Amino acid sequence: MSIQKTLELATQTALQNLYDVSIENVEFQATRKEFEGDITIVVFPFLRQIKGNPVEIGNKLGTYLKENIEEVATFNVVKGFLNLVLSDAHLQNGFYQVFTTDNYGINKQSDAHALMVEYSSPNTNKPLHLGHIRNNLLGYSVAEILKAAGNKVYKTQIINDRGIHICKSMLAYQKYGKNETPESTGLKGDKLIGNYYVKFDQEYKKEIASLEEKGISNENAKKQASSLVEAQEMLKKWEAGDQEVTDLWGKMNRWVYEGFDVTYKNLGVDFDVNYYESNTYLLGKDIVQQGLEKGIFFKKTDGSVWIDLSKEGLDEKIVLRADGTAVYITQDIGTAIQRTKDYPDVKGMVYTVGNEQDYHFKVLFLILKKLGYNWADNLYHLSYGMVDLPEGKMKSREGTVVDADDLMQEMTDTARSISQELGKLEAYANAEKEKLYRIIGMGALKYYILKVDPKKRILFDPKESIDFNGNTGPFIQYTYARIQSLLRRADFDYSQKVNVSIHPKEREVIKQLQDFPEVIQNAAKNHSPALIANYVYDLVKAFNSFYQSVSIFVATNEDEKIFRIQLSQKVGAVIQSAFRLLGIEMPERM
């Protein structure tokens, strides 16, 4: 039984005995740092049933708990707050429960039902960029956190491998590519194809300007430009199954997938199943027909099909065009349903998509509920803000996008530069240094992005993220490496249980460790890696305060030395476990 549950039951008994009242809920909060205590009971809510001074009630309750509950050593009352100090014996027993638990905080996965987490969802006409990095890091981390909370999880992406944008890259390659390949150019396949997306835009703009010079309006020039007309014709040929077009499409997409795989590996993310828009873009049309028959959708005079969501505070939404072609939401309806057919144990889905699509997902989820799918209650849009750099906005078609591979390399280079400047890694061989630069650089990038609430926009500064002090990935990695160094120095057996007096700094570390399981559950419930990231920072701050205040190897007795090494070992294990949920590697030396 948790200490909070124990105290709740004891408080209910105390108030029954002292005041003859029954209290259903007891409100707890962490004790404020300026007061002595480990956990605080808020007395004010009791005043609804007990007439009296809150300080007097707090003192009577505190005295009762101290006399009747062995876990309570002493107490103090500040206004209407009863601050309880837990006994050393309780804290020590609690620590050994933590110390002896393998994979502490991680719940065994349930086989009853599964969740599917979608992230990345790239287009095959360009490489992954900075926005994809936040998307991938969030989606991957949320999937890992949901697994740690006890859920079975499938990681998935839907690859946007068809449409007019893809045809633009294909057309430009066909015209200007001269049969070059990733091998002949030395470029990753996604970068090679991305160059042709930019090339199309450059030529398209020239054509628009030429038409405008002839007196054609900008709006009409955009429609009449030969490049766009040819791209639209190519899309029609692809949809008709034209052999030459589909062969080119297959070859160029294969190059892009190989490039994506390299980026995903370097970023440290993976997927269990891929979906392709070329296979899903026709899904959902039959569902719309069924919904039409049930009166969920309605048809307008031009033959288009809509749904009216005005009662839910939204608007009318088209789900099928007048010519019978699908819109994006039609495809999303069909894909969601197809996923539950492919994986019958899936009872919920998480969509990692930027906040510009908030309205789209409100509509999608409502439609699926109206269609009668029970799992639609377990759909979640992991909405996130954009990532900006000090240089400003990115535009893929103009070639000003911040390439994901380039940014990851820049992070490694920045870690190298700062480490050399500080003289941090001078003692290591070059190969080990390079590995550490990558671990530090990627840890800085991931932590900087994941420590921020997903809904907030981020201004990402690579140099600021690689700081060996403060709330950064390298600071936490350095603490972990310090702990590993301590453990290597501990040339004695520290597996046995000992009895010691708990130092105030040890007390803070133990309380932080005990919070880890609840933090994982809260992070899963809120789909927020930021809760994990900031928990680890608080744990590391508590450990460093302990490390600077308490001697470990020159302890007053052997039991103290053993206990402090045990405490250090478990802190290191929890840091590593938490960072694993964020997809961040830990260095054994630093």
The SS3 assignment for 394 reads coil
For 319, the enclosing helix (H) or strand (E) is: strand 316-320
Q: Strand, coil or helix: what is 552?
A: coil
Predicted confidence pLDDT, tens digits, the chain (590 residues): 678 899 999 999 999 999 999 999 999 998 998 999 999 999 999 999 999 999 999 999 999 999 999 999 999 999 999 999 999 999 999 999 999 999 999 998 877 789 999 999 999 999 999 889 999 999 999 999 999 999 999 999 999 999 999 999 999 999 999 999 999 999 999 999 999 999 999 999 999 999 999 999 999 999 999 999 999 999 999 999 999 999 999 999 999 999 999 999 999 999 999 999 999 998 999 999 999 999 999 999 999 999 999 999 999 999 999 998 889 999 999 999 999 999 999 999 999 999 999 999 999 999 999 999 999 999 999 999 988 877 654 444 444 568 899 999 999 999 998 888 877 777 788 889 899 999 999 999 999 999 999 999 998 888 888 888 889 999 999 999 999 999 999 999 999 999 999 999 999 999 999 999 999 999 999 999 999 999 999 999 999 999 999 999 988 899 999 999 999 999 999 999 999 999 999 999 88
pLDDT the model gives residue 108: 87
How far, in Å, CA of 566 to CA of 104, rounded?
14
Give the DSSP per-residue string, 84-102.
EEEPHHHHHHHHHHHHT-T
The pLDDT value recorded for residue 354 is: 95
Within 281-370, residue ranges assigned H as helices are 285-293, 328-342, 358-370
- Give which of 211, 251, 252 is closest to 228, Cα–Cα: 211
Whole-angstrom Cα distance, residue 119 to residue 267? 13
Q: What is the pLDDT of residue 217?
A: 95
- Architecture of the domain spanning 404-581: Orthogonal Bundle (1.10)
The H or E element spanning position 398 is none
| CA angle at 531 for the pair 529 and 536, rounded to the nearest 5° | 100
Tell me, what's the pLDDT at 429?
86
pLDDT at 304: 96
3-class DSSP assignment, residue 533: helix
Q: Read off the tokens for 344.
A: 């019958």
- Show the tokens assigned to 136: 């991938």
- In this prediction, residue 393 carries a pLDDT of 46
pLDDT, residue 391, reads 65
pLDDT of residue 525: 97
Angle ∠(381,387,390) on CA atoms, nearest 5 = 165
> Starting at the edge strand that comes first in sequence, how are the strands of the sheet with 346-354 ordered?
273-276, 152-159, 114-118, 346-354, 379-384
Please check whether residue 17 is in contact with residue 64, taking contact to mean a CB–CB distance below 8 angstroms. yes
Q: What is the pLDDT of residue 395?
A: 44
Alpha helices in 393-429 (DSSP H): 404-422
pLDDT digits (tens, 9 = 90+) for 212-225: 999 999 999 999 99
Q: Which H or E run contains 83?
A: strand 81-86
Percent share of the chain, pLDDT over 70: 98
Residues of the chain with CATH 1.10.730.10: 404-581
What is the predicted pLDDT for the residue at 394?
40
Topology of the domain covering 3-86:
Gyrase A; domain 2 (3.30.1360)
Q: What distance in Å separates the CA atoms of residue 480 and residue 485, rounded to the nearest whole number? A: 9
| First CA to last CA distance, the chain | 40
Q: Is 388 exposed, middle or buried (0-12, 13-18, 19+ CB in 10 A)?
A: middle
Helix (H/G/I), strand (E/B), else coil: 371: coil
Where are the domain boundaries for CATH 3.30.1360.70 in the chain? Answer: 3-86
Give the CA distances from residue 423 to residues 255, 342, 426, 480, 590, in Å, rounded to whole numbers and listed in that order: 41, 54, 6, 19, 11
The 10s digit of each residue's pLDDT in 264-318 is: 999 999 999 999 999 999 899 999 999 999 999 999 999 999 999 999 999 999 9
C-alpha closest to that of 514 among 76, 86, 46: 86
**What's the pTM value of the predicted model, to 2 decimals?**
0.92
